[in-house]
Amino acid sequence: MTSELNIGGNSYGPNAVGRGARATQHHVAIGTPADDPLTGALARLRSLVAEHRDRIPEAARVERDIDAVEEEAAGPDPDPDRLRDALRRIGLRVAAAAPVVSAVNDVRELIERLLP
């Protein structure tokens, strides 16, 4: 019996293969208020963009989109389309840096939970 994992396209998050395999993913937002995980996720994303800036050709635009997400999400009536569009652009621009893609997905997941 062999354990093989073959993923076509993109795979984000943990993957496990084989008998008894478990895949878990833990995210820790450092220095973030416990009641605002989005702030922590955005801070982590900013930090990873800075760390992998040499692999992100449009890093300045990514940072502007992160600012836009933060501003829109903090507003009284967040626009779901504006948030999703900014996160889509960020995801496309950071595709060459896997750790950053993971952080984008964390933010996307939190945003989707906040939206109606």
Could you report the per-residue pLDDT of 4-21, keeping only the tens digit for each? 655 555 555 566 666 666
Instruction: Return the higher-pLDDT residue of 46 and 20.
Output: 46
Kind and range of the H or E run holding 105: helix 98-114
| Structure confidence by residue, pLDDT tens digits, 57-75 | 999 999 999 999 999 998 8
CB 104 within 8 A of CB 45: yes
Q: Which amino acid is at 91?
A: G
Which of 15, 9, 47 minimizes the C-alpha distance to 28?
A: 47
Structure tokens at 55: 């692999």
Q: How far apart are the first and last CA of the chain?
A: 45
> Which CA distances in Å does 57 have to 11, 25, 77, 78?
22, 28, 32, 29
**Mean pLDDT of the chain, nearest integer:** 81
CB atoms within 10 A of CB 42: 23
CB 84 within 8 A of CB 72: no
